[in-house]
Amino acid sequence: MMIEMGKKDIIYDLLKQSDLTTAELADKTGLDENQCRTYVNRLKQENLVKNIGKKERYKIYRAVNGYTNNMTNRFVHDKIDKMQRQLTTLRELFETGALKVYREKVNNEQLKILEEL
């Protein structure tokens, strides 16, 4: 199954390969400069692209490492949330079980000594 890349992804992919201006991006993608500027600004807001200088009247942009598309980010975030909930449940079960075992093995006199510490 072939997944079609969005325009923003195409621009980001080009910026991963080399530093480009919006004019150069427009030439390579067939989009107009305003569209390229819009996508570059979105990538900048997501901290995926940064401005590294100027070439004539155009800003030069570079991709920042660590890009994954938003769908992947959401998937990973959801998986991490689920794992954190599972770990919390396991911790609570472990603590409850440990407390029961502790209560069975420690007498009242030992509890008083521990409380004083």
Instruction: Give the bridge partners for 62, in sequence order.
Output: 50
The helix (run of H) or strand (run of E) holding residue 103 is helix 70-105
Please report, as a single letter, which amino acid is at residue 112: K
Among the ranges 39-43, 78-82, 97-101, 105-109, which has the highest mean pLDDT value?
Answer: 39-43
93/44: higher pLDDT: 44
Q: Which fold has domain 7-63?
A: Arc Repressor Mutant, subunit A (1.10.10)
| The pLDDT of residue 5 | 67
- At 47 the three-state DSSP class reads coil
Cβ atoms of 18 and 47 within 8 Å: the answer is: no
